[in-house]
Structure 1
Amino acid sequence: MTAAAEGRKRDTLAIGAVRRNFAPWADPAAVPLIRFEKVTKRFGEATAVEDLSLDIYEREFFCLLGPSGCGKTTLMRILAGFEEPTSGRVTLAGRDLIGVPPYRRPANMMFQSYALFPHMSVEKNIAFGLEQEKLPKGEIAARVAEMLRLVQLEPFARRRPDQLSGGQRQRVALARALAKRPKVLLLDEPLDALDKKLREETQFELMDLQVKLGMTFLVVTHDQEEAMTMADRIAVMDRGRIVQVATPGEIYEQPATRYVAEFIGDVNILEGRIGQGEGGRWHIAAPEAPRGLLVDGGGDGVAPGRQVAVALRPEKLRLLQDEPAPGTPNVLAGEVWDIGYLGDWTIYLVKLASGRTIRVSRANATRFVERPITWEDKVFVTFAPEAGVILTR
């Protein structure tokens, strides 16, 4: 292994350790870098952000996730200084930002519309902010070269924006935003125009760069996979409010509401009524399960007689051709309605006796299957009690 390769390996191991151990939100003594306090923003009669409070910590890779029109970009623009809140307070490093113009804030924003200078080359666009700060020429050249490598645009350094594709222009905008190394980097759908493979590569490059530079990243996206890959924590937004703030694993495995469960990843939702509890588990009567359901835990509001939803991720379901033994909990009978082969996974749509269709994912761990499951097969779907999440909201 070369010295350069060994250095990259050490850097990767160090970055992994930093990300694993990073959780300032769990420390009661930690002071947030960014704080939104009861922020509301109205545009005429429309409310874009409503009574929203949120803390973001130094060196955190934070993501605002939600559908179009949920208020995530408005919240970012308030932090950047391009919008003023109708009410509430925003602070950065303890400083009240209300009334502070954008150019006086230690934050830089990458715009979704690129906002590149058409008469400048790629490298000049990237260097522009550094030249405005009058950095030494050698430092500017080194920083520009680093950014060009990051976004894989070294062969295009001398081209103008009109000689680039849309994805390439977006990468120039990303490089320019990163070049100044602000205290907080604001990214509005930063990878939206990139192709799938490059987008995935850039996600990891962004994560590595963020740790190496010790910067705070705030990213707005509607792409769930992008948020789950990059973020230390995610705030899921809906109609101007935050529904849940948690790590990607917590958001996926323990959604706080039905909205979050359905928005993040694929999920099956079964309706039922809570029966009696038993050793930390609840019996739930559901139309799809003649034997009933047995599900772990549940949070506030779980009580006998309560109508609830049970969220089940497709990959946590088992698909069987033989009926499970009597007494096996959580058995749903049905018929294979459709099949989608994705290479690493196969997706089965199973139509239950009630007429409800559920989604089951199976990893293709071997190349050959002795008894392949195919269309119209009678099958049984089962899951462990801990696989379900009881939702009361």
Structure 2
Amino acid sequence: MASLGSTRRSFAPWTDPNAKAYIRFDNVTKRFGDSVVVDNLSLTIYEREFFALLGASGCGKTTLLRMLGGFETPTSGRILLDGQDLAGVPPYRRPVNMMFQSYALFPHMTVEKNIAFGLKQEGMPKAEIAERVRQMLKLVKLEAYADRKPHQLSGGQRQRVALARSLAKRPKVLLLDEPLGALDKKLREETQFELMDLQQDLGLTFIVVTHDQEEAMTMADRIAIMDQGRVMQVATPAEIYEAPVSRFVADFVGSINLLEGTLLEAGRSGARIRDVSGAEFGVTDAGEGQVGQTVWLAVRPEKVRVTRQRPADVRNALEGEVWDIAYLGDMTVYNVKLDDGRLIKASSINSVRAVEDALTWHDRAWVSFAEDAGVVLVR
């Protein structure tokens, strides 16, 4: 049997033109009074996909999730699940379950009874409930905590109880609203991988709402970046990071250096950009840029080198002063202030314990990057 990692690497139905969308938002708009929260949004999600809605607070991602769950009604547009229009279908009739950010556990009930609650509401026979609860407790590794109440559990354990309760009814789609927000950093990182493995084991479709970029990049097969009720880009984590389609996406995900300039020439052999200071850069691909157009060259900090002397083998180089240094253990981040006042961020992996003649504050330095290091953006 293939490993879960192999399964994830080979899973890409969005690249198949014949693949059928499992969930479809068709021109969906949601208004609250005069406020447009979701703005004529269209989106497709595939069966067994781990999909993330990523954006700042108020961008409409939770509202989108709640409309799919049936807790909100679209002002206009359609939402389809496995070909069925969900208009008028109440939440309890949808093959969807939602795990809320607050977990919403019943404080007076034991772990076992919390997990069993939804099954009892559906009238499932007692023997079947007991077996299903046993399966869920084993799945989330909480067999020894069945008789405890929520206040006797850690944050991570409560999160697992809420997850088990959400999965007990065996929904086709699980909706997770900021599911790891209450956990500390180390537990959050561990739980991310547990959720990924669980999703693969169960063969369900997971849709997670988060404002945590690292969380989305770690767990999701694809990410939709949202802003003001609209989808700005939908792509895999690697594509979002390495090939953003706009300055907004580039700036929202990770750190970025944006160098504004004019596209001087573009062709098969590469392109040239003159930035606002008059410096010229070579790039391998002009993207959608047209000659004479204002463009922005987006370069990630880890693709920028910082050296005392100008590298002889690199065309793209700018001189400045080391303005700030952040030592993060595994890497060091430098902010270099150029002579025209702009700041360029560079990050360097600390692969050895000590560095001879290390750069420090106020040293003169050069920042440089390869011609294939950046992406040319026009919007």
Give the TM-score normalised by structure 2. Answer: 0.95
Alignment match of 2:134 (pick from 113, 131, 142): 142
Matched, 1:221 2:210: yes
1:144: Cα distance to partner? 3.1
Q: 1:306 matched to which residue of 2?
A: 293
* CA distance in structure 1 between the partners assigned to 2:354 and 2:11 by the alignment: 42
Contact conserved, 1:65 with 1:222, CA < 8 A, in 2?
A: yes
Give the letter for the 1:314 counterpart: P
- Deviation >6 Å, runs of 4+: none
* CA distance in structure 2 between the partners assigned to 1:247 and 1:391 by the alignment: 19
Contact conserved, 2:304 with 2:346, CA < 8 A, in 1?
A: yes
Structure 2: gaps spanning 5 or more residues = none
Matched, 1:42 2:34: no
What SS is found at the alignment partner of 1:350? strand
Alignment match of 2:303 (pick from 316, 324, 335): 316
**Cα deviation per residue 1:334-367 (whole Å; 9 max; x = unaligned)?**
1111111111111111111111111100001111
Alignment match of 2:176 (pick from 163, 167, 187): 187
Matched, 1:200 2:189: yes
Comparing 61-70 with 176-185, which one deviates more in the overlay?
A: 176-185
Give the letter for the 2:245 counterpart: A
Give the letter for the 2:281 counterpart: L
Contact conserved, 1:131 with 1:140, CA < 8 A, in 2?
A: no
Give the letter for the 1:323 counterpart: R
Give the letter for the 1:145 counterpart: L
What does 1:199-348 correspond to in 2, within 5 Å?
199-288=188-277, 290-300=278-288, 302-325=289-312, 328-348=314-334
Matched, 1:98 2:98: no
1:368: Cα distance to partner? 1.9
Alignment match of 2:342 (pick from 345, 348, 356): 356
Q: 1:173 matched to which residue of 2?
A: 162
1:142: Cα distance to partner? 2.6
Q: 1:5 matched to which residue of 2?
A: none
Distance 1:148 1:291, change over 3 A: closer
What does 1:17-36 correspond to in 2, within 5 Å?
17-36=6-25
Q: 1:7 matched to which residue of 2?
A: none
Give the letter for the 2:86 counterpart: L
Q: 1:389 matched to which residue of 2?
A: 375
Contact conserved, 1:274 with 1:306, CA < 8 A, in 2?
A: yes
* CA distance in structure 2 between the partners assigned to 1:388 and 1:137 by the alignment: 56
Q: 1:375 matched to which residue of 2?
A: 361
Q: 1:64 matched to which residue of 2?
A: 53
1:145: Cα distance to partner? 2.1
1:253: Cα distance to partner? 0.3
* CA distance in structure 2 between the partners assigned to 1:178 and 1:138 by the alignment: 14
Distance 1:141 1:99, change over 3 A: closer
* CA distance in structure 1 between the partners assigned to 2:187 and 2:177 by the alignment: 18
**Cα deviation per residue 1:79-104 (whole Å; 9 max; x = unaligned)?**
00001101101110111100000000
* CA distance in structure 1 between the partners assigned to 2:132 and 2:154 by the alignment: 25
Structure 1: gaps spanning 5 or more residues = 1-9
1:211: Cα distance to partner? 0.8
1:56: Cα distance to partner? 0.3
Give the letter for the 2:167 counterpart: L
Give the letter for the 1:349 counterpart: N
What SS is found at the alignment partner of 2:89? coil
What does 1:107-122 correspond to in 2, within 5 Å?
107-122=96-111
What SS is found at the alignment partner of 1:385? coil
* CA distance in structure 2 between the partners assigned to 1:214 and 1:269 by the alignment: 40
Give the letter for the 1:371 counterpart: D
Distance 1:278 1:137, change over 3 A: closer
What SS is found at the alignment partner of 2:3? helix
* CA distance in structure 2 between the partners assigned to 1:200 and 1:239 by the alignment: 28
* CA distance in structure 2 between the partners assigned to 1:92 and 1:357 by the alignment: 47
Contact conserved, 2:175 with 2:206, CA < 8 A, in 1?
A: yes
1:123: Cα distance to partner? 2.3
**Cα deviation per residue 1:286-331 (whole Å; 9 max; x = unaligned)?**
135x54111221333x111111111110001111111223x84110
Comparing 194-203 with 179-188, which one deviates more in the overlay?
A: 179-188
Give the superposed CA RMSD.
Answer: 1.7
Give the letter for the 2:71 counterpart: F
Contact conserved, 1:147 with 1:179, CA < 8 A, in 2?
A: no
1:14: Cα distance to partner? 1.6
